[in-house]
Amino acid sequence: MPLLALMSSATDESLRAQVQAVVPRLVLERARSGPTARAGSGRLRRAPADRGGDFDVDASLDALAEAAGQGRHPRLEELTATSWQRPGTALCLLLDRSGSMEGTRLAVAAMAAAACALRAGQAGGELAVVAFDRRAETVVGLGAGASPHAVVERVLGLRGHGMTSLDAALRAAATQLAGARARRRVTVLLSDCRVTDDVDPVPVARALDELLVLAPASDADEARAFARASGARLAEVLSLGDLPGALDLLLRP
Euclidean distance between CA atoms 32 and 29, whole angstroms: 5
Q: Residue 119 in contact with residue 184, Cβ under 8 Å?
A: no
> If DSSP codes are grouped into helix, strand and coil, which group holds residue 151?
helix
In one-letter notation, the amino acid at residue 106 is L
- 88-104 pLDDT, tens per residue? 789 999 999 987 656 67
Mean pLDDT of 208-224: 95
What's residue 4's pLDDT? 55
Ordered domains of the chain (ranges, CATH): 43-85 (no CATH), 89-251 (3.40.50.410)
pLDDT mean across residues, the chain:
82
Q: Residue 251 in contact with residue 38, Cβ under 8 Å?
A: yes
Euclidean distance between CA atoms 142 and 179, whole angstroms: 8
Among the residue ranges 77-86, 89-98, 173-182, 233-242, the one predicted with the least confidence is 77-86
- 109-138 pLDDT, tens per residue? 888 888 898 888 765 689 999 999 999 999
- 1-34 pLDDT, tens per residue? 555 555 555 556 665 566 556 555 555 566 565 5
The pairing of beta strand 126-132 with beta strand 80-85: unpaired
